[in-house]
Structure 1
Amino acid sequence: MDSSMPFALLLALLIPILLHFVIRRKYSSYNLPPGSLGFPVIGQSISLIRALRSNTDYQWYQDRIKKYGPVSKMSVFGSPTVLLTGPAANRFVFSNQDLIITETKAANALIGSVYSPVFKMSLFGSPTVLMAGPAANHFVFSNQDLIFTQTKAINTIIGRSILTLSGEELKQVRGALQGHLRPEMVTKYMRKMDEEVRRHIDLNWVGHKTVKVAPLAKRLTFDIICSVVFGQGIGPIREALATDFETLVQALLSLPVNIPFTKFNKGLSASRRIRKVLRQIAREREAALQQGHSSSADDFFTHSLTVEDIVDNAIVLLTAGYGNSAVLITFLLRYLANDPDILGKITKEQEEIASSRGPNEPLTWDDDSRMKYTWKVALETLRTVPPIFGSFRTAIKDIEYRGYPIPKGWKVFTAQSITHLDGNFFNDPVKFDPTRFDNQTSIPPYCFVPFGGGPRMCPGNEFARTETLVTMHYLVRQFRWKLCCKEEGYRKDPLPMPLSLFGAPTVLLAGPAANKVVFLHEALAPKQPRSLATISSGGRTSWSSSAR
């Protein structure tokens, strides 16, 4: 063995430890929030991940509330971080221009349970201050001194995108995306959404003995975004893109160690294949626009974006839709299985809408706007099982919260989802009750923030709302279902998914038409199509064909 190898390994072990103590010494004169940075590199990461995967994060936070109070510091991903909680902290983080977005494994994985105060700890080796509650939400969402940043894995795999930009660059790219995600544009996408949902149900639900909800919900939302963004038809390219995106998403939570057979290495390979395809799509779209074969009004990638900006942000859109909307649809079905009264009300609303249309007539924006009760049920689902726990930011200068200094370069994490299950803001918070959204103005600001807030609010929230409502319109009118395991739990790894995703079948569906019986599984994913790497490169492929 190379004699330098032991020395290199020793350095790899000692450097993080030395940096850990340098950080402690550097900030020893600061009146930092309470909390421990924990062991070098590791911090509190292992204990938190264990709590998330066992769905005991509620107690994990409660223990720290008793010990540290409303603001605390910790270490996550090698960076000192402040955790803020509460609506005011949400507002502070979401609207503060001196905070840049930070995406970490914890940010994607965490799911909050109750109001958590502020304390420090160490997560993934980074000193971190955790904030929770309305005040923390307000602080984080409105603070201009906090900006989004990314982990090395996410930066490397996804690249330069709306998640990492700031200033004028952010305004330009966000403006281009919002231009095609605003409500008046989403109305134009409804026909494609309707077609994709009908096709998906016909292919994967009707007449099948087994249906695996979680993976199929991911595939449905992925297909909808592909159809809208790329106009990509059903075929081997989109099939392969879905496979490579699953690999990419799994790699976002991996250690950024680029050696063969690791998740990170596989994710990089998948990212390269995806980028190659998206670049070709973008260039063909650009050529079609220049030649007058396509209208800029119908093109998702206009507003002077570069090809690389198009590719990076298309990956962000696909990744977000692939996970978040799928979680909402999965848990909507799960909740409705346990509440026939709510299911009956949704069905009545959807049947009334269907009665005003022909049997094969697609849904319209007017139909969507009438699905008020269905959306209240979806909002209650987002409240109880938010797809994303909170937001990480990085301070671009020294800032202060509740009398505690947050040094430049430190991360701020607001567990805004914690307020969703706080009895101070939601009566009987563990009860699933859509009527709490009958009067949304009664909910205190920054207490319910499933799509974030401030200038960084998710630009695709209207898109996600519409695809969810279209999906539920067809499912509730064709099927009835019940859970096989009523007490089934779920885990966050990183997105919340039923435990049955890792094993057992969970739901039995019976379609009212012809008494079709379908078993619904939230178990193992269906057999995946070939990745882009295995598709024959023979012959030229048109990337800009329409979905239908």
Structure 2
Amino acid sequence: MNSFFTVLLFLFTMIILLLTTTRRRRSSKGLPPGSLGLPLVGQSLGFFRAMKSNTAEKWLEQRIQKYGPISKLTLFGHPTVFISGQAANKFIFTSNYGNIMSNQQSKSTRMILGDRNLFELVDHDHKRVRDALMLFLKPESLKRHVGKMDVEMREHLAMFWEDKQEVKVLPLMRTLTFNIICSLLCGFERGPKRDECADLLPKMVDGWWSIPINLPFTCYNRSLRATARVRKIVKNLIHERMVQLEKGASPHQDLITCLLSIRNEYNEELITEEEIVHNVIFFMVAGYETTSSLLTFLIRLFANNPIVHALVLQEQEEIDKNKPSGESLTWKDLAKMKYTWRVSMETLRLFPPVFGSFRKALKDIEYEGYTIPKGWKIFWVAYKTHMDDSIFPEPSKFNPSRFENQASIPPFSFIPFGGGARICPGMEYARIQILVAIHYLVTRFTWKLCGDDSFSRTPLLKPSNGLLVQITPRCCN
């Protein structure tokens, strides 16, 4: 009897092994080269170390040399296919979202930003929410808010730069961008709640690309707790704006009020409260990190490149000459800052704040002769085309003239704001903020670096010591 059950158990085990092997063979047919590594962890720790040491490009280049421009690995708990190059960018930005892939980020990012933020949505939902956001973020609407950005910038300089001998640039640029977001997008008055949000945001961002292990001592757990608190604050803010609208407040005063005021012809809301919360937090986190990073690296650039600094200063002083003393910048003034914006774009090419992003395959996808299985993540990066010498000759050289004729740059090669129908809706908002900030910084101060100006990615780009500079006032305006 015992021998019968032993034989039966042996046969059952062999059948299971045979079925498992068959499934593995079927599922691995046509997969890209590479290794998935250990379950859940895979190559995540090695990638984290490379990001922190600012060698992520080298780490990925070694993969490309070994496996080619497409390979499989495990990142942040998911089997992933890494793709790179211009064709990969085009594939990412022009694919039929909702049909073959979604813009779904890693679990840690999705839990922090929310699953109803614009980058997660597809098809009709994406268009509906994007159209709602663009009612406030389009240039015609943002024109009326240049003066508000100007006021925030002057107040920032008065509070944090004037009468100082040394400053750490990155923390101050984060403070600036956060305050502009609060003022322009949220209508969030200065006070304890705004200060609390400012303290919570770094904790949220720290968990952005963390391994999603929700234990009390993990970065992911701290980030989730910070996110829960910020969501509660934003919800309370939304309810305050509802009351103000009922009392006759202007629907154009900030992004939240604009979104709450939108109705269709049947008097139905075009964007839900949950979607407003998730998208406000998305813009809060994205703007806080990306714009502050670009401003920081522009200040770093001006300290290291006196020729570019002098040309930007000349352009900005020319604008000041034609304005009455103390008058705020206008939309027409921003239109004259052509060289300054070319310098900004070249800085974005060399130092894109966001290293890369993820998509999710909604079905088996055939790409470059390989199969990306349904449910797998797709990881793409910006640096590969930004540093391609066939697209940008002498790619390591700083050369703003590359952007004098943007039509000459091949499509899907310069992608700091993404591309296609899903290009970042806040691009114009970021441009205005950058130009206003640079105008006042270069016309009112000079600076020199104090020591180390190296940088790392954790996961977003930032100088190792916050970029400490010694500052000197240029003039009194």
**TM-score, normalisation: structure 1:** 0.77
2:459 corresponds to 1:494 = yes
Residue among 173, 176, 179 paired with 1:220: 176
In 2, Cα distance between equivalents of 1:382 and 1:166: 27
Aligned to 1:254: 210
Structural mapping, 1:448-527, within 5 Å: 448-485=414-451, 488-501=453-466, 506-513=468-475
In 1, Cα distance between equivalents of 2:174 and 2:344: 17
In 1, Cα distance between equivalents of 2:397 and 2:374: 41
Aligned to 1:94: 93
**Shift in alpha-carbon separation, 1:490–1:29, aligned structure 2, 3 A:** closer
Q: SS of 1:149's equivalent? A: coil
In 1, Cα distance between equivalents of 2:340 and 2:252: 34
Cα distance, 1:261 vs structure 2: 4.7
In 1, Cα distance between equivalents of 2:414 and 2:156: 32
- Contact 1:351–1:477, Cα closer than 8 Å, also in 2: yes
Aligned to 2:277: 311
| AA of the residue aligned to 1:206 | E
- Contact 2:106–2:209, Cα closer than 8 Å, also in 1: no
**Shift in alpha-carbon separation, 1:285–1:39, aligned structure 2, 3 A:** same
Aligned to 1:38: 37
Structural mapping, 1:149-548, within 5 Å: 149-159=104-114, 160-295=116-251, 299-302=257-260, 303=262, 304=269, 305-485=271-451, 488-501=453-466, 506-513=468-475
- Contact 1:398–1:408, Cα closer than 8 Å, also in 2: yes
**Shift in alpha-carbon separation, 1:35–1:277, aligned structure 2, 3 A:** same
Structure 1 portions without partners, runs of 5+: 1-17, 100-143, 515-548
Cα distance, 1:216 vs structure 2: 0.9
Cα distance, 1:265 vs structure 2: 3.0
Cα distance, 1:445 vs structure 2: 1.2
- Contact 2:84–2:380, Cα closer than 8 Å, also in 1: yes
- Contact 1:282–1:301, Cα closer than 8 Å, also in 2: no
Percent pairwise identity: 45
| AA of the residue aligned to 1:319 | V
- Contact 2:315–2:337, Cα closer than 8 Å, also in 1: yes
Q: SS of 1:513's equivalent? A: coil
| Pairwise CA RMSD | 2.1
Please give the per-residue CA displacement for 1:193-249, whole angstroms capped at 9, x wherever unaligned. 101111001100010133111011111101101101222222222112111122222
In 1, Cα distance between equivalents of 2:249 and 2:388: 54
In 1, Cα distance between equivalents of 2:245 and 2:142: 21
**Shift in alpha-carbon separation, 1:82–1:251, aligned structure 2, 3 A:** closer
Count of aligned residue pairs for this structure pair: 447
**Shift in alpha-carbon separation, 1:408–1:479, aligned structure 2, 3 A:** same
Please give the per-residue CA displacement for 1:48-74, whole angstroms capped at 9, x wherever unaligned. 222222222333233222211122122
| AA of the residue aligned to 1:70 | P
371-380 or 408-417: bigger deviation: 408-417
Cα distance, 1:192 vs structure 2: 1.0
Q: SS of 2:120's equivalent? A: coil
- Contact 1:289–1:296, Cα closer than 8 Å, also in 2: no
In 1, Cα distance between equivalents of 2:462 and 2:390: 27
Cα distance, 1:296 vs structure 2: 5.5
Give 1 or 2 for the bigger CA radius of gyration: 2
- Contact 1:87–1:416, Cα closer than 8 Å, also in 2: no
Structural mapping, 1:21-170, within 5 Å: 25=24, 27-98=26-97, 145-159=100-114, 160-170=116-126
**TM-score, normalisation: structure 2:** 0.88
In 2, Cα distance between equivalents of 1:23 and 1:76: 25
**Shift in alpha-carbon separation, 1:170–1:239, aligned structure 2, 3 A:** same
In 2, Cα distance between equivalents of 1:175 and 1:370: 29
- Contact 2:169–2:468, Cα closer than 8 Å, also in 1: no
Please give the per-residue CA displacement for 1:480-505, whole angstroms capped at 9, x wherever unaligned. 112233x732111111111223xxx6
- Contact 2:352–2:382, Cα closer than 8 Å, also in 1: no
- Contact 2:350–2:396, Cα closer than 8 Å, also in 1: yes
Q: SS of 2:258's equivalent? A: coil
In 2, Cα distance between equivalents of 1:413 and 1:318: 24
In 2, Cα distance between equivalents of 1:207 and 1:196: 18
- Contact 1:417–1:449, Cα closer than 8 Å, also in 2: no
396-405 or 323-332: bigger deviation: 396-405
Structure 2 portions without partners, runs of 5+: 1-16, 263-268
Please give the per-residue CA displacement for 1:503-545, whole angstroms capped at 9, x wherever unaligned. xx6422222237xxxxxxxxxxxxxxxxxxxxxxxxxxxxxxx
| AA of the residue aligned to 1:300 | C
In 1, Cα distance between equivalents of 2:76 and 2:362: 18
| AA of the residue aligned to 1:493 | T
Q: SS of 1:507's equivalent? A: strand
Cα distance, 1:22 vs structure 2: 8.3
In 2, Cα distance between equivalents of 1:316 and 1:47: 28
Please give the per-residue CA displacement for 1:318-370, whole angstroms capped at 9, x wherever unaligned. 00001000000000000111111111110111011112222221111111111
228-237 or 317-326: bigger deviation: 228-237
Cα distance, 1:287 vs structure 2: 2.5
- Contact 1:71–1:84, Cα closer than 8 Å, also in 2: yes
Cα distance, 1:24 vs structure 2: 8.1
- Contact 1:417–1:450, Cα closer than 8 Å, also in 2: no
In 1, Cα distance between equivalents of 2:23 and 2:324: 68
Please give the per-residue CA displacement for 1:431-465, whole angstroms capped at 9, x wherever unaligned. 11111111222211111111001222111011011
- Contact 2:77–2:211, Cα closer than 8 Å, also in 1: no
